[in-house]
Structure 1
């Protein structure tokens, strides 16, 4: 066991408006299975890069371990997988590699295939197994679940549960709960560490948020009372001060010294109340510091003339001689929230392409209601560049509503001035989802919409789908999201 000490860490990117970290200090134990959570853009990947020495920073980071970053950059993916492993860890022993791969249910034959021919899941498993073989290393595992199907996520999560000495960035609640024993969270104004899994951290946060909300309500009432008292007291002192000059034709000469003294005392009291009021306002500004904004989002779905939107009956889709899927039968009806599940390569994306109008070869019966308007969110975000305003105009959506949704998904106003190509992966996915929510559609089709998106935003999107009940077909490997949202499930 050893400690990683972070002391007075301060860092901001060149040209940035503000620092990502400001005088941050905390300690980590290298034996921990540490989950790392926080809103998109808060600096999780940046912090991992600081640990590996990628950027210069102020403050100190001291550790007696070597940091290994996942995903490891494979410079020549055409090499055999066994050669890639040797590049990552030249001192590996074959039996150790096979032991780790067997735990992850990876067949030995993948070692003698080009790395590029492996699936995303196989690549993830091979690199994780290799990195964990390194001695005196602390793994920095950055979002390993992206593009992994549910079965692969469960295998990787079970594997990580047998290990220790890592930081795991993931937004999959079930994945985190299964394999971590501590949480490191980047909040709005601080960084905190708690023992336990994601669910225990979230429950503690919910209790703390409720406490702060109750305190804020009491403080708000107190400020209202103090404001009224200060106003009355200021009025009293003013009224007393005017009596120094007496009333017209009263014939009574006032005692200006006494009245001035009384007025000064009243003014002093008024100032004291004003000071109390200001102190209360400052206290209020310190409250709610870590309550995440999670306002409700609004979706406007078009009414449709029919109850049944799409129907598949014994459908098989082909690419040349290859069968993408077969014997597929299901319907999408008004109000359905249909989860399309199955391993990667089982044909989910092919079915979506067919619904969206792609010219694919298929057998069986497929029908789609005429004049059905579809809003589609793809897996790919690489095409996003330019300004948000131009993107809204190009997609013929209301820019004000588009940006309001992004604000509710934790975009700062500064973010609106940036080029989309500079956004994080999660921020780019939020752009696609916000666009979809602005589009007038009968059916929403989202293909792995939650990749890179933070947990709190996932919960917001869940609440939206519950409240407005749009008709939606989605592919998503986040078990908690599927369990919470789906009214129907189709397993391929």
Structure 2
């Protein structure tokens, strides 16, 4: 066991006026299994790169360990997987590699295939196995779940549960709960560490937020009282000051010395009240410094004239004359929240595109209701470009509502001035979700909407869908989200069936 000490860490990107971190100090035990959570854009990946020494900063980071970062950068993906591993870690021991791969349910056969022919899930597992071959290193694992299906996520989470000595960035609640023993949260103004998993941290955070909100209500009442009192005092002192001049009908001269003294005394009291008022406002500001903006979201689904939206009967989808899924049969009815589940490559995204009307090679029957309006969130964000104002205009959505939703999902106002190409992966996905929430539709079809999105936003989106209960068909590998939300599961194996 050794310690990683972070002392007075301050960092800002070149050209930026805002610090990502400011005077941050804490300790990490290198035996911990540390989960790392926080809103998109708060600097989780930046912090990992600071540990790696990739950015200049003020402050001090001391550690008696080597840091290793995941995911590795693989340049020659056309090479055999075994050669890729050898390039990343020439000193590996083969039997140890086979042991790690077996724990991740990866066959030895993949080592002799070109790395680029492996599925995203297989690539992730191979690179994780390579990572844990590096002894005496503290591992920085950055969002390993984004290309893993439900089964693979459970397998990798169980694998990490047997390990120690890492920081794990993930937004999957069930994944984190299963494999960490401490959590590092990046808040609005600081970083803090707690013992436990995500659920225990979230429970503590909700308690703290509730306490702060209750205290804030008391404080606001006190501020209102101080405002009224200061206003009355101001009015009083002004009236006293006026008596220095006397009244038009009075035959006697006022004692200006006495009245002036009295007025000055009242003004002093007024200033004192103003200071108390400002002190209370400052206290309020400090009190709520880490309270997250997680206001409720809204959605406006359209009413449909028919109870049944769509029906699929014995649908099979083909690529290059090869079936990726076969004999799919299910219906989409008013109020359904259908989770389409299955391994990567089982045709889930193709099925969603087919229902949306994209040209897909298929057999079988698909029937959709007349004039059915669909709002679609794609898995891919690479097409996003330009600024938010133009994006809203091009897609026919209300710019003000669009930006309001993004604010509620944790966007800072400064983001509105930037081009979408510069956004993080999670921020880009939020753009697609905000667009969909602005659209009035009968049916919402979302393809892996939560990829890269932070936990707090995931919970907001989940609560929205549970409250408004739109008809939705979705693919999502976040187990907690799917189990909490879905009214029906359609599982894609060699065939697809309703569960």
What range describes the TM-score normalised by the shorter chain of this pair?
over 0.9
Secondary structure of 2:265's aligned partner: helix
Give the aligned partner of residue 269 of structure 1: 269
Q: Deviation per CA, 1:349-371: give whole Å up to 9, x if none.
A: 12112212233333333211222
**Are 1:233 and 2:229 matched, yes or no?**
no
Residue in 1 that maps onto 2:111? 111
Deviation at 1:471, TM superposition (A): 1.1
Q: How many Å separate the matches in 2 of 1:55 and 1:236? A: 59
Aligned to 1:210: 210
> Helix, strand or coil for the counterpart of 2:146?
coil
- C-alpha deviation, 1:36, in angstroms: 0.5
> In structure 2, the residue corresponding to 1:5 is in which secondary structure?
strand
Per the normalisation by structure 2, the TM-score is 0.95
Cα distance per residue 1:458-482 (max 9 Å; x no partner): 1111121122221110000000100
Q: Deviations over 1:102-144 (max 9, x none)?
A: 1111111111111111111111111111111112111111100
Determine the structure 1 residue equivalent to 2:13: 13
- CA offsets, 1:2-32, max 9 Å, x none? 1111122221122224121122222111111
Alignment partner of 1:133: what SS? coil
Match of 2:304 in 1: 304
For residue 459 of structure 1, what is the aligned residue in structure 2? 459
- Once the two structures are superposed, residues 287-346 of structure 1 have per-residue CA deviations (whole angstroms, 9 ceiling, x without a partner) of 211111111222222222221111112222222441111232111111111100111122
Which has the higher mean CA deviation after the structures are superposed, 8-17 or 177-186? 8-17
Aligned to 1:28: 28
Aligned counterpart, 2:496: none
1:263-289 C-alpha deviation (Å, 9 max, x unpaired): 332222222111111111111111211
Between stretches 261-270 and 430-439, larger displacement belongs to 261-270
Aligned to 1:132: 132
2:178 corresponds to 1:200: no
1:479 corresponds to 2:479: yes
Asked if structure 2 preserves the Cα contact closer than 8 Å seen for 1:324 and 1:350, the reply is no
Q: Which moved more, 1:422-431 or 1:236-245?
A: 236-245
What's 2:406 paired with? 406
Q: Counterparts of 1:363 and 1:377 in 2: how far apart (Å)? A: 25
> Which residue of the partner structure matches residue 369 of structure 2?
369
Distance 1:188 1:299 in 2: 27
**Once structures 1 and 2 are overlaid, which stretch shifts more, 215-224 or 117-126?**
117-126
Question: CA–CA distance in 2 between the matches of 1:17 and 1:383?
Answer: 29
Alignment of structure 1 residues 279-298 onto 2, 5 Å: 279-298=279-298
Report the Cα offset of residue 243 of structure 1.
Answer: 3.7
Map 1:315-330 to 2 at 5 A. Answer: 315-330=315-330
1:83 lines up with 2:83 in the alignment: yes
Is 1:62 paired with 2:59? no
For these two proteins, the number of residue pairs brought into alignment is: 492
C-alpha RMSD of the superposition: 1.5
Is 1:167 the counterpart of 2:167? The answer is yes
State the SS of the aligned residue for 2:132: helix
CA contact (8 A) 1:420 1:428 kept: yes
SS of corresponding position for 1:138 = strand
Ranges in structure 2 where 5+ consecutive residues have no aligned partner? 493-499
More moved, 408-417 vs 245-254: 245-254
Which residue of structure 2 lines up, in the alignment, with residue 439 of structure 1?
A: 439
1:357-416 per-position Cα deviation (integer Å, ceiling 9, x unaligned): 233333333211222221111111111111112212222222222112111111111111
Distance 2:117 2:248 in 1: 101
More deviation in 112-121 or 417-426?
Answer: 112-121
2:421 maps to 1:421: yes
* Distance across 2 between alignment mates of 1:88 and 1:429: 31
TM-score normalised by structure 1 residue count:
0.97
Deviations 1:150-204 (A, max 9, x none): 0000000001011111110000000000001111111111111111100111111
Measure, in 2, the Cα distance between the counterparts of 1:391 and 1:249: 70
Summarize deviations over 1:73-122 as a string: whole Å, max 9, x none. Answer: 11111111111111111111111111111111111111111111111111
User: Residue 38 of structure 1 corresponds to which residue in structure 2?
Assistant: 38
Once residues 108 and 289 of structure 2 are traced to their aligned partners in structure 1, the CA distance between those partners, rounded to angstroms, is: 51
Kept in 2, the 8 Å contact 1:115–1:123? The answer is yes
SS for the counterpart of 1:25 is: strand
Q: Which segment is superposed worse, 236-245 or 264-273?
A: 236-245
